[in-house]
Amino acid sequence: MAEQNHDLIEVEVACALPRTQTVVTLKVPVGTTVREAITRSGIAGQPAGGRWNSAAVGIWGKRASLAT
């Protein structure tokens, strides 16, 4: 069954490094975890983005786990 548009939310995934910042906006299904959003954003495949698995992550400035 195709996802209905109302079952999607818009999120931004950001990766901030000392010299660069990348922000990707995407729509994901309600219930998507932080880990899934990072993976869907493609940031993990960019240079230095591969370290996200051990990096601190957050939602609205509050620390979160990858399973959130």
Domains in the chain (CATH in brackets) are 5-64 (3.10.20.280)
Buried b (16+ CB within 10 A) or exposed e, 10-35: ebebebeeeeeebebeeebeeebebb
Beta strands in 1-68 (DSSP E): 8-16, 21-29, 57-59, 62-64
Q: Residue 33 has what pLDDT? A: 95
The answer to pTM > 0.85 is: no
Summarised one tens digit per residue, pLDDT across range 19-63 is 888 899 999 999 999 999 999 999 877 765 556 667 788 899 899
The model's confidence at residue 18, banded by pLDDT at 50, 70 and 90, is confident
Three-class DSSP category at 32: coil
